[in-house]
Structure 1
Amino acid sequence: MYPERFSNLPEYAFPRLRALLDHHDPGGEVVDMTIGEPKHPFPDWVPTVIADHSEEFGRYPPNDGTPALRGAIRDWVARRFGTTLEADSQIAAVNGTREALYNVGMALFPERKAGQVPLVLIPNPFYQVYMLAALSVAAEPMFVPATRATGYLPDYASLPPEVLNRVTAAYVCSPSNPQGAVASAAYWEELFTLAERHDFRILSDECYSEIYRDTPPPGALEIAARMGADPERVVLFESLSKRSNVPGLRSGFVAAGPRSMARIRQLRAYTGAPIPLPLQRVSERLWAEEDHVIANRALYAEKFAMADDLLGAVPGYASPEGGFFLWLPVPDGESAALRLWQEAGVRVLPGAYLSQTVAGENPGKEYIRVAMVAPKDKTARGLTSLRDCLYR
């Protein structure tokens, strides 16, 4: 029998979008700005590395990543965040970070906390896998608004102590999806202090950390080390999908304290889908190389400067600090998405599809999410059509 806790799940965002749009004809040349699938070129040596190791498709890959891959990840973390990890006890390669963001619940969430069903804090809007991770282990997801009033990050510190005492984990995404807000060092410090006081883990989804406008976003591991926090207090999730424009590679990593990682690895030994060895080999090189990341970031910077020029006069427009989405205010996200499709052929995602309605309020209802992943000329065409359709 289907578990009752799954009976009221909202339909996933993209099937909902297809149901909204696909029985209508587009009103112009189609520009798809819905899914966060990078379209910038990946390094031209990627196919060569895979081909050079193609015979390794005939071998079972190591579940947690080759020593060379875990070493490359360790070295990247040290360069990027100034933090030292043990490759053999604190890092595991994963087949896309969505896998790890989900399985962390089964590995680390207790069945009870303080004699009650544990709470999992989730920013609202949110990446939907966070909710499923909680529900799958019968924890209770608690959606905390991440709105303009809170700097587009969840204000977990505003929750009452009796709530925080039930919390077993808190998801944070920085830069945030969909708003592109960056958690400052002060934000992280406050959250670590809160987590220590109320004994919960911080689950830091930093998959967009290498796409930023000016200053590299501080990371959770970086601040934890600076504060001398318990290494078991934080779990980091990172990906090559956005950083290196290889979403189909399905390669990322999870990093945590040794005790947490032992439990994550034990679960993966039973259930994990390891990355094929040729893809691990190219991942080793991608984590070790920064030139393509710098070039990728420059392409996004050009497109966001263009968005600022085209949309900067829109009331409520906020130029994102990081990530590759625009979070644009509209009277109603579904109506705006349908109108934009019917009149201009531009596909965007209603913000309500990324948010949960709590006490009758949906923080994404008056927004649309626009993915800035296409080449510059196509992005310019889509943004111009969007502006002329919705804001003039």
Structure 2
Amino acid sequence: MRTQVVIIGSGPAGLLLGQLLVNAGIDNIILERTSKAHVLSRIRAGVLEEGTAAMLDEAGVGERMHREGLPHDGFDLAFDNRRHRVDLHGLTGGKRVFVYGQTEVTHDLMDGREAANAVSIYEAGNVQPHDFDGDHPFVTYEKDGKTHRIDCDFVAGCDGFHGVSRKSVPEAAIETFERVYPFGWLGIIADVPPVGEELIYANHPRGFALCSMRSTTRSRYYVQVGAEERVEDWSDERFWDEIRSRLPGRTAEAMVTGPSIEKSIAPLRSFVAEPMRFGRLFLAGDAAHIVPPTGAKGLNLAASDVRYLFDALREFYIEKSSAGLNDYSNRALARVWKAERFSWWMTSTLHRFPDQGTFGQRIQHAELDYLFQSRAALTMLAENYVGLPF
């Protein structure tokens, strides 16, 4: 086969890039090692920056997001047994975020791709990019007992942290930066109404907690747990008792509990790979970087990579210029590191660390107290949370 762009990975980054390319008349094929059902079963983030929402509109798949998503103009930070509201809308000149699950984003993008009759190949085994350091790259994969080859102009590696794209780069050509945090998030989904109309982030002596939602009838809750914890050791009753102990009294009393429909523990890490371009192979999303989920940046950072990469590819094919491709890595990484900084700051400010001690706890308290005495400090938080400009 022959196409212009091969996209490895059928997560939100790959699907969004593919849909934008299709709409621009640029041929592309998506290769995914797992099944479509498996991709749709993955439970991930649910807070979309305005820029991400605008890109879904640009891709022509934003209608359901606007109909079913929940626009939020702020969120609460809870500490000292009180809730303090961060007015995102007022602090950023009218910006807001959307609460809309990543699974729903993926579903909408898949539907859009099918409607456009664009090619996605699922359960493609042993996907390998080749010769991306030259002018004629190609990608091979196995399916139905046969090896297939796709010749292309460019390869977009959107296949996540454990995918083949970054692993295909010679070790000497890439530098990685990483911080692994000594805790994880135990999360559950339950069909109960959310405890608040907006998200609640909590700093508590027992550890961090987050009250989020997927809809007005489905809630997503998290508590910080030790890195050694096992999900099997957490009954629903134990989880509800723990999260209520970390929330202000009135909030805990108002919480509606019920059986979980999903429960998992996610480790936290910060990770960046540099550069994000290797000849005609471009990394995007989790293939190039990971952020702890505290700042709600993972999916949004993948979307910003797609913004830069799509603009560069469109410029190459429509305007016959390679300037955007040459600048892709620098532009993407400049925004990546700002998001890494913000996610690290949110994580450091709201979680309890094993070696923190009483001094570190007092510093956290002073940081949170200062936030709500300084409009400048709150504006910094709000500007980063709603998303820095592209």
Give the alignment's TM-score, normalised by structure 2.
0.19
Bigger strand share: 2
**Which structure carries more relative contact order (alpha carbon 8 Å, separation 6+)?**
1
Bigger helix share: 1
